[in-house]
Every structure is written in structure tokens, then in C-alpha cells.
Structure 1
Amino acid sequence: MNRYFDVNHTQLFTFYSPAHLSALSVFVLCLILLYVNRQRLHKSHYRKYGRFILAAVLVLCEVTLNIWYITQGVFRLQDTLPLELCSISLYLCVFMLLFNNRFLFQIVYFTGIGGALQAILTPALTFDFPHYRFLEFFIAHFAIMLAVLYMVWVEQYRPTFKSVGLAMAFLNVLLVVVGSINYAVGGNYMFLMKKPDTASMLDLLGPYPWYLLSLEAVAFVLFILLYLPFIFVARAQLSRNKLPLSE
């Protein structure tokens, strides 16, 4: 049992290994199931329980992660506080789900999907399956994206173009706050002080500190891309409404 939790576990994570691809496949299956059943869930009197279940999964991931940090003796201010973008998005998702909050959705639609998607495709992860950290990492990031898409597909929330600006503003305020904490505790949360040791998208964005500026541009482009489907859907609906009635 200890090998599933041991911080000195020696089986290292490998990008796009069978374990990684299997985890991604499970996520795709969950996406398909959620999308196929979106209308049924939307019309159900019990749809709020879907939100509560996702919130419970996110809380369980965060609580057990901190318990693991403490019991394994690796809790440190420098690198185990919930100050990564995905950790912050996780907390926002919990409040969004529990209180059905539209304002938080406007932010977490972009930060949650954008951050979690990058994380699962290029994980900054040491431990491989079946270690607890492997399972917690993927379950937490999958649940973040499923939570956001649950609000889109089941609760039928929609971001607006102003949401892109709101998410960018939130992100920049976050950079200042987290950057200040990094300076105070000697951390590297959100990789604001240096790139991660593992391969990531940041390797393509230039050296420190210039990759931070590149990351701003990438975030804006990504947020626009995430908003585009709603533009296309809105235009398609408008075109259908303008079609003349057949005689």
C-alpha cells in the first residue's frame, strides 16, 4: 500500500505513455457522456446534484492532496500552497458549482479550461500510475474542465466577449498577487520565476522573463479561441431564425 503514496516512489511519469493516454481516453469518454446527456440533465429536477457531485470531487482532491503533503513531510510554503492557476481555478469551480454563480463562470470558463487542458497535455508531474499523485492530478484537472462544461452544457451558461477581458484582468491581478508571494516565500507558483523542470509549452515561449510576456499573448489568443464556438453558435441560431417559413 505504501508504494501508492510514498513520496520516494521511483516509477517516474512519462509523457504519452500508456498510462497517460489511458487517462486522457477516460476524460474524453466522460466528455462524450456529459455532452450526450446534457439535455436530459438540463430538464431533470436533480441537475443541481450533478454540480454538488463535481464540487465534492474537487474538494476531496484538494483535501486529500494536503493530507498527503503533511503525512509525507513535504508541505512547504515554497511549493505546496494552492497558488497554481489550476489550484485557484479549482477553488473558483467549487464556489461556482455550489452557488450556481454566473460571475465566477465568466472567469473560470477561460482559466479553468485553458489551464487544466495545458496541464493534462503536458503534466508537471513526477509520479506515474498507480501512484496517488497521478490519480489525484488527473482527476482534479478533469473535474475542473467537466465542472465548467457542466455549466455550459447542462446549466446553459454562456460567456460573453466581455468575459475575455474579465478573465484577462483577473489573470493579471493574479500574476501580481502570486508574484509577490513568490518573492516573499521563495516559490515559483504559476512558473513566474522560472520554467518547470519538465517539458511544457513554456519551452516554446523564450527565456525568462520574456516568456511571461509571450504567455500573456498566448493566454489572450487561447481565451479568444475558447470564445469562438459561442460566436459560431449564435450566428447559426440567428441565421435559422431569419429563414423564411416554407409554404
Structure 2
Amino acid sequence: MPWWFSYKHNGPDFTMFGAAHLSVLTLLIIACLYFILARETFRNSPKLDRNIRYTLAACLIFLEASYHIWYIVNDAWSVQFALPLHLSSITLITCIFMLITGHKRLIEITFFAGVSSAFLTLITPDVGNFGYPHFRFFHFFLSHAIVIIASIYMIAVKKTMLTFSSVMTVWLYTNLYAALIFLVNFITDGNYLYLMRKPAGPSPFDWFGPWPYYILVLQLVSLILFVFMYGLYQLLFRKGHHHNRKGNNYMHE
């Protein structure tokens, strides 16, 4: 097994805010700005728009499939941690269907729950010690970054209208999902959504106190993040979307 695909770490270490980490964050910002600034180009070319969306969806499918293959070939796959139940995995799935169907509810879920969690995760990545150019490094950062890029694309290019009620709806969905996963954790002895204990490495969870108090704090923090993202949407996109209020908020293909 080559070191760059091995489950046992025997390659370069990951350095938080090192050259590789900062390069990923920089490229992410550039990609988001590009799709915002070039949005008219994609709006005026249905074929180009379709190709972009389907390519992003295909990348996410490939990344998720290769992630499970990595576990399996390394004889490390376990129901305790490998099921696609973490928020990043669920929003990756909603992102795929969002890109294919353009359904407004999927855009709302992916934008508020997916982008907020992906951004915080990219800032304080739970990537073990797998540094560049290990497979896990590429999988982790690409999968989270594409969720952010795809959400920005769908809002900027497709002129998706978001309302404050979207914030509360997604927050409710997220809490209902967390309640379900809490039961799954008991059944699988897992730690999905980190409801049973904090991540091993540095993470935003460290700021919110010990278990179980950090779970309660996360309820408020997630709501604040969703409201902040709604404000960011208002600042960046609302003016350009105002005239499209009665237009289609999702695609039919």
C-alpha cells in the first residue's frame, strides 16, 4: 500500500495554517469570487451551466466513493465512524442532488447547514495528521470546498431567493436530524455529529465547554451562524436577486 493511500499515517504531517492549508483556503476564496463575478456568463449559457453543475456533482460522488474505498482496502471501514451521517456527509449528499435538480429546499439546507459547517471545518480541519499530498488531505479539503463553491454557484448563478424563514426551517431540520443521530450513536457506539464526545484534534467544539454542555451551546451557535449567513446573502446577492422575486427559484430539467 503506497503511503499516500495508507490508513496508517507514515507520510508528511498536516500543519494547521501551513502552506498547504493556506493554499487551499486561498484557492477556495478565488473560486467563489470567480463564480460570483462571472455569474452572467453561466446564466447566459445553459449548456455551460449544466456542465459545471454536473461536473461538481460528479466530483462529489467520486470523492465520497473513493473515501469508502480507502477505508475498505485498508481494512478500516467501521459502522462506528464510516457511515455518511456526519453533517458534512449529509450536506455533501444534499449538495449532489441540489446540483442535479436545483431544488430550492436543497439549496437552503446545503447553504446554511453545509457551508457553515464546511467553513468552520476547513478553518480547523479534523483531518488527523494526514498532510499534503496524502489522499485523505485531498478528499477532506476538496469535498468541503466543493460544497461551499456549489452553494455559492447556485445562489449567484441561479438567482435563488432565500428568506429568513429558510434560516429557521433549516435550523429545525438540523436539530431533528441531530436527535435522530443521537439514537444512531447509541446503536452503533459511534460519535456521529460529535454528539458523544468532541473531535480528537483542535476544533470549534473546544470553545463550547465539556460534554454535554457544548451540545446545548451548539444549538445557539448554529442559529447565530445561520443568521449571519443570511445577512451575508442579503449583502452579496439580495440586490441582484430582487427583480427575480417572482421568477423560478429552482430548475426543471
What is the CA distance between 1:142 and its match in structure 2?
0.6
2:32·2:153 contact (CA, 8 Å) conserved in 1?
A: no
Mapped partners of 1:161, 1:147: distance in 2: 21
SS in 2 for 1:190: helix
How far 1:107 sits from its partner (Å)?
1.5
Kindly, what percent of the aligned residue pairs are identical?
Answer: 33
In structure 1, the residue matched to 2:248 is none
In the aligned structure 2, how far is the partner of 1:80 from the partner of 1:237? 40
**Pair member with larger Rg:** 1
Q: 1:132 aligns with which of 135, 138, 147?
A: 135
1:59-208 aligned at under 5 Å gives the runs 59-126=61-128, 127-208=130-211
Distance 2:178 2:34 in 1: 35
1:38 CA drift (Å) = 1.0
Deviation of 1:235 after TM superposition, in Å, equals 7.0
User: In structure 1, how many angstroms separate the alpha carbons of the residues matched to 2:159 and 2:31?
Assistant: 18
> What CA distance in whole angstroms lies between the structure 2 residues aligned with 1:157 and 1:165?
17
Equivalent position amino acid for 1:29 in 2: I
Aligned match of 2:245: none
Cα drift, residue 70 of structure 1? 0.4
Contact 2:63 2:139 in 1 (8 A): yes
Counterpart contact for 1:109–1:159, Cα < 8 Å = no
Q: Amino acid of the residue matched to residue 93 of structure 1?
A: C
1:22 correspondence with 2:51: no
- Check conservation: 1:158, 1:230, Cα contact below 8 A: no
- CA gap of 1:237–1:35, structure 2 versus 1, over 3 A, is closer
Q: Would you say the 8 A contact 2:87–2:117 is kept in 1? A: yes
Sort the Cα spacing of 1:37 and 1:71 in 2 relative to 1 into closer, same or farther, 3 A: same
Structure 2: tracts of 5 or more residues without a match: 243-253
Mean CA deviation greater in 22-31 or 117-126: 22-31
| Aligned CA distance change for structure 1 residues 24 and 230 (closer, same or farther; 3 Å) | closer
**1:36/1:189 Cα in 2 relative to 1: closer, same or farther (>3 Å)?**
same
Change (3 A) 1:214 1:80: same
Distance across 2 between alignment mates of 1:70 and 1:234:
45
Match of 2:4 in 1: 4
Counterpart of 2:59 (choices 47, 54, 57) is 57
Indicate the SS of the match to 2:46: coil
- Which amino acid letter does the alignment assign opposite residue 8 of structure 1? K
1:80-102 residue CA offsets vs partner (Å, 9 max, x unmatched)? 11111010000001111111111
4+ aligned runs moved over 4 Å, structure 1 = 232-238
Per the normalisation by structure 2, the TM-score is 0.90
Describe the shift of the 1:226–1:83 C-alpha distance in structure 2 as closer, same or farther (beyond 3 A).
same
Tell me by how many angstroms 1:25 deviates: 1.6
3-state SS of paired residue (1:225): helix
Summarize the Cα distance change of 1:236–1:96 in structure 2 as closer, same or farther, 3 Å threshold.
Answer: closer
Cα shift at 1:236: 9.3
CA distance in 2, matches of 1:41, 1:237: 15
Instruction: Identify the range of structure 1 (78-87 vs 17-26) with the bigger mean alpha-carbon deviation.
Output: 17-26
Q: Distance in 1 between matches of 2:118 and 2:240?
A: 29
Change (3 A) 1:65 1:178: same
The aligned counterpart of 1:31 is 32
**5+ unaligned residues in a row in structure 1: which ranges?**
239-247
Question: Structure 1 residues 35, 77: closer, same or farther in 2, change over 3 A?
Answer: same
Q: Tell me the alpha carbon deviations over residues 143-166 of structure 1, each in whole angstroms, 9 at most, x when there is no partner.
A: 101111111111111211110111
